[in-house]
Structure 1
């Protein structure tokens, strides 16, 4: 897995970032978060998306707005057209930047209402995503000023056309003073989730007492360390089940479960099905 916190830098001639991602094999499970809003349009792909505590299917034209610091990833199952790649067109922008634009422009208030609801993640009708596909594709060929105007136009069209369906029941709470400590802890968990990680070890990483670590972690993730660690392990298991032919018992051991029975129990609790059933759902 990649580091949990993703650092994004806009190009020197722009105030926001974008990515045209085309993958022949698959969209991999890469669980991460960042302080920017993320608007993603996924084309020619089917699979599952993971946004906060939401797990759901996606298809061609999947259009999602993810709020700041909300963990997320997509994991593909198949292409719609096997001859073409999976496509993810991604636009990132910071809260202070978009709020600065909105604050000085009455015309942009619909965008303000849109991003104000994005903390949980918002999924829009796939027909809207398909209707905007040409605009997303064209934005990459435009000048910096042209890209800026295209982004505003896309956001206004989304705000006018569809309220969006909230996705995650839990929302990350961002407090700047704890963010560096929390990111150190999350990165440590991400690197070592496959082994036993003690509260004392994490407290040392955070430079806090064990009780202080517990309070900070629950405050910002709405989960305790144990439940969060289980989520990381099961998330990695989902990636391996959907993208490899590894035996289930081998996957269980690789993500930190010495007991296959315990792995099966935790997997069913979080995903509502057995690992074998989950893998079967990705079969062509």
Structure 2
């Protein structure tokens, strides 16, 4: 399984690289690299992991990640089934770690850009009108070249700099403690959980998968994920439940049991702890935003 290597080395002759992605599913491997990354999902759905943050993603998802911040966009199972009619699409921009240059970034005119780049080290999710505008601009940037492409890229970043439609993803205290060899273990864990979260997951089974004792595994996971393994599984289940509530229009009980929870009481408690609202409140809030066109 691939380790945490540079996904897209940028040639020394270029300031940035932009790519249109169209494939069965997005990269399923937990990884990190030295470049800044701006990624928008045009088509597809799944679960997004950025640092210690977990959330489901759909078309329109726009995230800016800083250097060496572990991340993963894992497509839903249906994208792995080989159906040629189901594709994942997106656009990704990679920026050099020292973009736009050590001399320029410390100038007075670049203070706000420097702040944006610093904040991206926790991962930034953009939403609302900003996400829509940036998505359109990234699509146009695919067809630009030369100095015009640099100017247009700066316009995108300037829009992001002045946006209020943004929030940080990883916890303030999160630091990447992963080494390249650790990502292989974490990838196995991620894949196992995503394949089995609807069932009961035994700590012994996951520890065996990582070639560790349960005690060693629990300590290892907490250090590298900034949360306990049970918290990680619960967040994956809550993310899946959110999608079932709003996309599949399931009721609370259906979403509960389809996401791997054994009781409604535990589901409601875990859901509110992670979203600050009950499942029913979450569903009604989403429907209200959809009605008023504020998504």
Asked if residue 168 in structure 1 is aligned to residue 169 in structure 2, the reply is yes
Q: Following the alignment from structure 1 to structure 2, what is the Cα–Cα distance between the partners of residues 140 and 38?
A: 15
Q: What displacement does 1:264 show?
A: 2.0
Paired position in structure 1 for 2:153:
151
TM-score, length basis structure 1: 0.64
Where in structure 2 are the equivalents of 1:178-193 lying within 5 Å? Answer: 178-193=182-197
Structure 1 residues 133 and 274, CA gap change in structure 2 (3 angstroms): closer
Asked if residue 119 in structure 1 is aligned to residue 121 in structure 2, the reply is yes
Greater Cα offset, 257-266 or 121-130: 121-130
Where in structure 2 are the equivalents of 1:64-79 lying within 5 Å? Answer: 65-67=64-66, 68-70=69-71
Q: What displacement does 1:231 show?
A: 0.7
Q: Following the alignment from structure 2 to structure 1, what is the Cα–Cα distance between the partners of residues 54 and 203?
A: 27
Where in structure 2 are the equivalents of 1:230-245 lying within 5 Å? Answer: 230-245=234-249
Where in structure 2 are the equivalents of 1:83-102 lying within 5 Å? Answer: 90-93=91-94, 98-102=96-100
CA RMSD of aligned residues (A): 4.3
- What is the count of residue pairs matched by the alignment? 241
Kept in 1: contact 2:18–2:142 (CA 8 A): no
List gaps (5 residues or longer) in structure 1.
Answer: 22-30, 44-48, 74-87
List gaps (5 residues or longer) in structure 2.
Answer: 23-27, 43-47, 75-88
Where in structure 2 are the equivalents of 1:1-284 lying within 5 Å? Answer: 16-19=17-20, 34-35=31-32, 37-39=36-38, 53=53, 65-67=64-66, 68-70=69-71, 90-93=91-94, 98-102=96-100, 105-109=102-106, 110=110, 113-122=115-124, 135-143=137-145, 147=149, 150-151=152-153, 154-155=156-157, 157=158, 161=162, 167-168=168-169, 170=171, 171=174, 173-176=176-179, 177-283=181-287, 284=291
Kept in 1: contact 2:203–2:214 (CA 8 A): yes
Kept in 2: contact 1:10–1:17 (CA 8 A): no
